[in-house]
Chains A and B, each alone.
Chain A
Amino acid sequence: MEQSISRRGFLKAAAATSAALAVSGETSTFFDQPGQAFADSASKRTMYKTACHGCAHCCAVKAYVEDGVVVKLEGDPDGPLNRGGMCLKGLSQLHTVYSPRRVLHPMKRVGERGENKWEAITWDEALDLAGTQIAEAVKKYGGYSLWTAQGGGGAYIQAETRGINATFGGCNTVASGSNQCAMPREMITKATLGFQGCVNMGDMGRFVGCWTAEAFKTRVPEPEDRLFVIWGLQPTANGVAHTGHALTDARALFGAKTIVVDPYLTSEASKADVWLPVRPGTDSALLLAWIRWIIDNKRYNEKYCKYWTNLPFLINPETKLPYEATDIWPDYVNPAIDPNGIYDTPAYVCFDEKTQSVQPFPYTAPDDSPVDPAIFTTAMVNGVEAKTAGQIWWEEASPWTLEAAAETCWLEADKIEEALELYVSIENSGITGGVFSEQQECTSAVPLGMVMIDAMMGRVLTPNSSYVKHGKNSIPTHRPTLRIAEGREMCERYGVGWMIGWTKEHNDEYLSSKVQAWNDQGRDGEAMRKQFVQAMFDTLGSNAHKGMHQWTQSALKETREAIITGEPYRPRVNYEVSGNKYMVVSPALEWQKAYAEQDFIIQQFPNMTSFTVDCVDLFLPTEEWLEFDNYGDNGSSMIRSYARQQVVHMGEAVNPFVVPWHVTHSAIEALGEENCFDAHATDGFFYETIESARATFAKKLGKNSWDEVLADQDHLYTEISPEDYFIFNQHETIVDDGLPAGFATMSRKVEPYCSLLIRLARTGFPYMYPFDQPACDDYDPICKFKEPSESPLTDTEYPLVLTNGRVPHFHHNTMRHAPFVRECMPAPELKINPVTAAEYGINHGDWVKVTSRRGSCSLVAYLTEGIAPGVLITERFWNPECFDDTQSSITAGFEECNCNVLGAEFQNDVFSSNSYRALQVKIEKGSKPDRVWVESSEFEPFMPTRQNEANKEEVF
């Protein structure tokens, strides 16, 4: 530590000199220190293996360096999924790493916000400023005045900032990639299945990868039928060379069939066996129609439903929770009870077909069950009429005939049935849902419906299911357990949260030990835990939307409102570790008003964005992916997890996992450790020096040092052998209590009736145990359909329904400053049916002004028969050219072409997700906004200019 401080002191002088030179436009050649990756690359071409970070996934790639400059990138043929492929997002790193937009020194705002005027300062000055601002706010207004913000899966650093909050007793984190992406699907699959199912497109690789080991190695087709139901996701536009390549291989080599549910004729849809262009916002109705058809036609797996799901459980109509056997028969002896009192396997209550009576339903292997439980029935329990969970699902689904769904979803009943016949006929299949549901009100309903369908078919832990576990370590040896929160380490740290599968006694004992551990350190453990839980209760929006505890998140709407109104308190200082927030939070213009109210905003990122220009006070430059060493973050390529290595390194850009350590510790120093809630809350997330980061990465890779890792250039990854990777039907494994392992759920079975959501709403269980968070309205434990708050059925003023999707050219807010990408896709397209376009006099290529109740933006019309009349689709966009030096006047570039200004704050109750999709707009012929570039030649100022920038050693 002492060593690094002294080195930092030395480099500070160097940095000041080079900063001045950089600002004056000269190229610095002082203090060049050849780094390890480029040490001997002069005048010859050297190849370095690394892993792309152009999106949320990871393709193995090769970088070629000449004279310290990366001159070529290409996909690594050894990559398990990309097999040599590298998409335009990844390839364009060759431009963005050397982009004139790169910031290589800390920058302090000198003009007004929005003027884009900056002064280069030293890292010492920057960290002092950051630390002082945070500390002063915490001192004056308390820990809640600090809030942090993260990106999504494509950001170089994502779900780690909760530790910064905890350090200072804060509690609010806003991420573009949580409530609005992946987190809800993760939570629902964990709550219903006991493990994380295929919740994002990254997992599509795993999903497609559910081949046998032999097939994976040889890619030789086997004679089984395979089917993927791709519901609202675009693997070929997201992980283009990763998930897209895998899906393409599955189709071409294995003859895999696909059903695609998507409003637009995506590339997936264009190659699908059946395409169901569902009306945006009505997916829940279609899911219920699938469920109804499968039940009505008795196509479900009856034995699986009876013995491996909670569908036969009788539900107490008062509590909405399943009856446990001891509720009815207090003296009932549960045969699955753990004599050691550690594991919990409750017995429930069913209607037994054999005895035609209500009976206890203990957990057993299916063939050992004393009962033959009815799935769909109603029975009298203690004089009360109770339905089974299956019956509750059936009654919800029963209005949704194919005809009813066709009418609501704007589909053809025959097509829905064609899809269903295909789905039920191919056993090796499953449904994967995309991010669409998390950007509208049906966030929790859709994954519940998807789980129900696959669970009814018994397609869990089976080949080609979305719900599979990998590797020998995933084979259970005892009753499976799960602490479902992704932020579990934070709750666990302070002795909060219920481990599913443990008894109450064992949970209490464990949590008490955590409290005691703090006592042993001289802290009041119980007081700390109460303070932590209070902060969780005080997290903005967390009372109404308790599902956000899954990733320890705040609600966008409630956070925005709190900043504006100061109620219940005002977050004042923001630390943002991702790029252009205006691209990913909506309604963007309302957020702009909130950000204007902030006392101080710190951002770390490789380049400035609209967000930087519009509201940032202190900008901390971080490295591009060719510049940073990393392992363990977004590095999964099915059987392998890849490390990234530093290939070049310019200026004073710092590893994104190192900057937060220094910001946090600068604030701790300014505040005094004794005034922090937990000065070590970020330990393990962030690193003081690149050396400490490398040591950690090396250890995770099973190596003694980072040098040892680099010495084996061809193996910058850990690997699970294909034989050990594909392990199906793990729930049938007999474990140490003599019973089949089952699932890490409350009942040890798949729970399509998600009673955990009921308990969550009422007390915050399981996250907040042993404390009770004040109750909110119950959450629905099953999928229900609700017409979106803004609907084309009733909206005459804004008659068109708009949704959005992905294009392969960008990952969320990336690559708008990559010149070769922009000339391929200069402006966001508004896909519109020619019939609708004609109604508005709009021609192909026309600029269109699109207006919702929140604002307007300009998009380019793309006329296509690939979308229904009355439905529109576009993608989010921003225009970094709007604040280019060549412009005579500037804007921040997020309003012009960004459909995110149209988004609404209609929320999902469980997760608080806003509505960015399935909302109502009106359109008219428009014109190209000022400053926006569309011609190839206009992008010249984005061409790379920094190839001559000297490679420098890390600052920290």
Chain B
Amino acid sequence: MRPIDLMDALGDLPEDYIARELTYQPPKKNSIPFRAVIAAAACLLLTAGLVRGVWMKRQPIDTVPPQETLPTTETLPTEPVTTDTTAVQTSESGSEAETTASESASETAFSATAAWTETIETVTLPVQSIPALTQPASSTEATHPAATAVTTVQTDPTESPTESSITMLTTVKTGDAAENETPAEDETESPAEGIAETTAYIPTDPTEPIDITDPPEPTEPSYSLPGNLTPDSSGRDPLDGFTATECFGRTVLTVTPESDDPTDFSLGYTCTDRRYFQESMATDVAGGIWNTAYTYLDRQNGTSITVRLYCRSRFRLEYRTETAQYWRLDRPDGCIYLHCDAGGYVLYDDGNYVMQIEYNDPQADYQGFLEHFVPKN
């Protein structure tokens, strides 16, 4: 069979086959303005995400310093404390006052952004968090030498917190009261912290607040890095001589030696070896990135090694024949690495005869390339 026979056979194809190809419209690339708009939108989203992330991380520290929220935690004098009777309330009204206080505190703390205000408005504080406020009036009237006064700021949601309409609610917590409060012992020991924490949490469950003061760092998608390659049966590291580089956004391996170490690009073979490798290729997708692995089968001893795609290896074109190109890499140890590309085409030529191998077709089934080392002279 001659090539011209194939041409003739193509010419005898049915008309609809020809018409189909004549009218075929290749998929168009997006226009530059369109791509620019998409890129700008992506950048905007990314920036917004970053700003939000940074803000979230800083927010609890900046807006809710315990010292500012509860500026006065003063020790009462030894003499009996006369509490403000106007502040003494029943258990029910105390709960309401607590809720109001916490909501006001939340609103004050998060008044910087509406988004966070919305979040905080849904918070319902557990009643147990400040047990002193739930105590009957009689319990708050008791005096104790070690009693401490905790001052909280109650604000009217409808008014500015800086105005004089702020009412001071003073709650006296006695030692007895603290002893009687078995649940949430930590909170009773330091109610000031308990209140401060309510502004730092976004509770999804009233009984189990979630700490967001230190959100987890976003994790980057894991790619199939070259380090995951499996050594061959002889125990050699298949990565010898191959260095991971970035190539068009991909992590690939290049065979260009980075050091003067003669073994850098040896693949375990010496200069005097003359090895032939049958090359095959498998491609898979990981994280949206095509990964290509080459398997080199050493036909002399049956061993095989697997390496990842190498891209833009700095090979020079040594010579060409009608059916093949021979790409040469001068190894640091004085040997020549010769890659015989029997495909009969130039892979890439940017003027420096840089060879580029980049396959994206998962169905590609290249076989039959020969790789071999030849000693110099």
Q: Do A and B bind each other?
A: no
- Contacts from A to B (Cβ < 8 Å): none
B residues at A contact (CB < 8 Å): none
